[in-house]
Structure 1
């Protein structure tokens, strides 16, 4: 059975409030009964004493005056039990009941008799008229007066308590609603997080425990989102590893056959220094290293380090890419502001693969921009250029290599995920090039980032210099 929080707050509070009001009212009732009873007993005792000591005739006017002052009815009988006079009529049938009550000279509220449909507390005393015989004076105090006094003490507190319950419930409901509304929002947020929608709620207006809980849930949502990204990245890397392991053997066999065919062609043609054959061999070796770099993706394997001259690295990489760029009439600008002996420590082929990947991506991006601006090309305006730059890093301990193209840049939908596996917007793309680049850079202890500047897309790599001997 569902037991809403608002009921858990208001109903017990109402119950205990009513119970407290009832207990206080009952205590007040008991106290009022005791206090009023003592007051009535004291009043009857005082009247009894005065009547017993009176020495003037207890005529009817005297009795009526005493009745008006004290609110007590008085009935006088002689020693034979014969009614003499009284302030209230007494029938012959009621007189024996009056005479049967004992306790002459004492006051006892337990003695209650009924006359003419009304209940009275009864007390009796003896008095003597001046010069007459002893008579008995019966004092009858109306029980209704006693009950009215008790009720006046009991009901105001009881009603006040009952009236206080209603506004108390309203206030409790408002306070409970202020608690349950944020809890309901947090419940919806947690439900969405459980469904994989990692949203964050704005903080509450009050600095309380619920606000702390909202901050904690927002932190949990952010951490779960980052964990999910990491898990998906690891899953993609595992898939790539499985795919690479499956195809690497076949690709290597094909590459071995291609290299043998090139070698045999070199021998048959007797042209050992043919530039085209040298380019083909370098391309075959590059493909082989690309396969190896793909197998490294997600495995964090160590690399064989050697001193690498930065000038040589860039020039040989550009030389391998330039034929493809020249085919599309796309110039490649080189700008190296390093000393000729500037060097890095790492795997030459892996770094060459890294830079070659960025340059090839730049060619594709620039060609796509040229296709989008075909009208300008018809007018003879060249709108594309590729540049690779190398310069010392401001910290003096690293070297920065930057590849910039005049493409349109990545779409906003994938801008934050460029280096994640299988993320691509190309129709025939695999989404593996940039993840491989990042993997290679990180293996060499460097960092990579991208940004747009002056309508250009730039990828900047920062690598530590090799330690001088």
Structure 2
């Protein structure tokens, strides 16, 4: 059976308060009754002490006056059970041995007697001398009204019970308020967890309280963020998997076409005797580069989870850059983009395969050429497109930097431009920068970008190896 948390808090709190209030109420009533009984006995003792020293005749008139002063009832007898005088409300004289003595009354000789519907404390004084008849000893009976146990309990319990009822009511209200403070946020968190289970990973607004509820709220929000990231990564992996499956088929056909094209160009070159023509050499190298990339892609597509990684090899960045510039300069000239290159220290090498270095440089430079050419096409700027390529060693680190005067990446892709399939260009695939980032990580380096003085700058850094022969 489901037992809501609100009921658990409320019932347990009420049981605890009920026990505490009942204990305090009983103790208060018992203390009040004891004090009341003691006051009654003290009153009787004072009257006995006063009447023991009296020297005046105890006539009915005198006894009535004593009743008005003390509130007690009196009976004056001869010691044989005969009443000589008494007050109007005095009960009948008790028989010998009749009466009940309680524990609280054992300090005195008072007895408790019952007369009709009333209860009395009874005390007698023997050997009282009557001035009117000194020779005959007399007995003075004194009666002090004693409340019944029921009436004492009723009178004594009224105030404590009223206080107890007020405390219980207040406790119920406080318990409900406390339970709501706990259960309402929990209900909200429960609804959010259900939404997360259904795929809605929106975060919950932060609560202003500083307790375990806030910690739980924070944990659920962190879980939602991680689930959203995980879901995004799963979608990316699924797209990559689909791309690999589709690309492996396309790569096979592209390789066949590239091989046929290469053979046709070689035959044409031999027939026309243009083997030394620069454009012919660029086309031939581009086809060879395409063939190597397709071959590498097919190896990866056929065994994407083999776990095998190519051993790191040293490459000469300057030699790689010269080859890349040779391949890309015709494209820059065709698009009216000035390609400026500054390369320093041809003795530096880097722990990166030549293929990775070529792919990294080609992606960054070709992106810059495209960005600079798009600037020319979208504006009437007098200055043409410009791409500046720098290669140098700084503080023991190899630095490759590409800057262009294009418009820069759109704001909607700034945070995710290095993710797969993210691009700000109409003709881009969104794979170039993600591949650059992967190569940088694989070589132990890093790549970042900035926008300075109207130039978009991509910068790659990694540890260089000095003193190696080229």
TM-score normalized by the length of structure 1: 0.78
CA-CA distance at 1:275 after TM superposition: 3.3
2:264 is aligned to: 261
CA-CA distance at 1:2 after TM superposition: 6.0
User: Residue 197 in 1 paired to residue 201 in 2?
Assistant: yes
1:404 is aligned to: 403
Match of 1:340 among 327, 336, 346: 346
Secondary structure of the equivalent of 1:103?
A: coil
Secondary structure of the equivalent of 2:294?
A: helix
1:29-75 Cα deviation digits (max 9, x unpaired): 22333343344345446646766786653212321233234322224
Q: Which has the higher contact order (CA 8 A, sep 6+)?
A: 1
CA-CA distance at 1:189 after TM superposition: 6.1
2:105 is aligned to: none
Tell me if structure 1 keeps the 8 A contact 2:347–2:466: no
CA pair 39-346 structure 1, distance change in 2 beyond 3 A: closer
1:288 is aligned to: 291
Whole-Å Cα distance in 1 between the matches of residues 453 and 3 of structure 2?
62
Tell me if structure 2 keeps the 8 A contact 1:293–1:350: no
1:21 is aligned to: 21
2:390 is aligned to: 389
CA pair 205-50 structure 1, distance change in 2 beyond 3 A: closer
Secondary structure of the equivalent of 2:337?
A: coil
Whole-Å Cα distance in 1 between the matches of residues 445 and 225 of structure 2?
27
User: Residue 441 in 1 paired to residue 440 in 2?
Assistant: yes
1:177-206 Cα deviation digits (max 9, x unpaired): 665676566656656655453647558565
Secondary structure of the equivalent of 2:406?
A: coil
1:366-389 Cα deviation digits (max 9, x unpaired): 33333332xx16xxx244222222
Whole-Å Cα distance in 2 between the matches of residues 38 and 198 of structure 1?
73
1:90-118 Cα deviation digits (max 9, x unpaired): 7xxx86xx656853895333x3323xxx5
User: Residue 327 in 1 paired to residue 334 in 2?
Assistant: yes
Whole-Å Cα distance in 2 between the matches of residues 265 and 280 of structure 1?
13
* 1:279-318 alignment runs, 5 A limit: 279-292=282-295, 294=297, 296=300, 302-303=309-310, 306-318=313-325
2:115 is aligned to: 113
Secondary structure of the equivalent of 1:416?
A: coil
User: Residue 60 in 1 paired to residue 60 in 2?
Assistant: yes
Structure 1, 352-361 or 190-199: larger mean CA deviation:
190-199
Tell me if structure 2 keeps the 8 A contact 1:294–1:436: no
- Count of aligned positions: 450
1:349-369 Cα deviation digits (max 9, x unpaired): 332222222222223323333
CA-CA distance at 1:254 after TM superposition: 2.7
Tell me if structure 2 keeps the 8 A contact 1:193–1:199: no
Structure 1, 169-178 or 456-465: larger mean CA deviation:
169-178
Structure 1, 246-255 or 168-177: larger mean CA deviation:
168-177
Secondary structure of the equivalent of 2:420?
A: coil
CA pair 307-124 structure 1, distance change in 2 beyond 3 A: closer
Whole-Å Cα distance in 2 between the matches of residues 85 and 16 of structure 1?
59
CA pair 290-453 structure 1, distance change in 2 beyond 3 A: farther
CA-CA distance at 1:331 after TM superposition: 1.9
CA pair 402-294 structure 1, distance change in 2 beyond 3 A: farther
CA-CA distance at 1:26 after TM superposition: 1.0
CA-CA distance at 1:124 after TM superposition: 5.8
User: Residue 462 in 1 paired to residue 461 in 2?
Assistant: yes
2:103 is aligned to: none
Whole-Å Cα distance in 2 between the matches of residues 125 and 349 of structure 1?
127
Tell me if structure 1 keeps the 8 A contact 2:317–2:349: yes
Whole-Å Cα distance in 2 between the matches of residues 141 and 86 of structure 1?
14
Task: State the superposition RMSD in angstroms.
Answer: 4.0
1:430 is aligned to: 429
Whole-Å Cα distance in 2 between the matches of residues 103 and 350 of structure 1?
120
Structure 2 unaligned runs (5+)? 100-107
Whole-Å Cα distance in 1 between the matches of residues 464 and 312 of structure 2?
12
1:281-329 Cα deviation digits (max 9, x unpaired): 2111222233345455976753365553333322221221222222222
2:419 is aligned to: 420
2:98 is aligned to: 103
Match of 1:356 among 356, 362, 378: 362
CA pair 120-222 structure 1, distance change in 2 beyond 3 A: same
Structure 1 unaligned runs (5+)? none
1:31 is aligned to: 31
Tell me if structure 1 keeps the 8 A contact 2:259–2:291: no
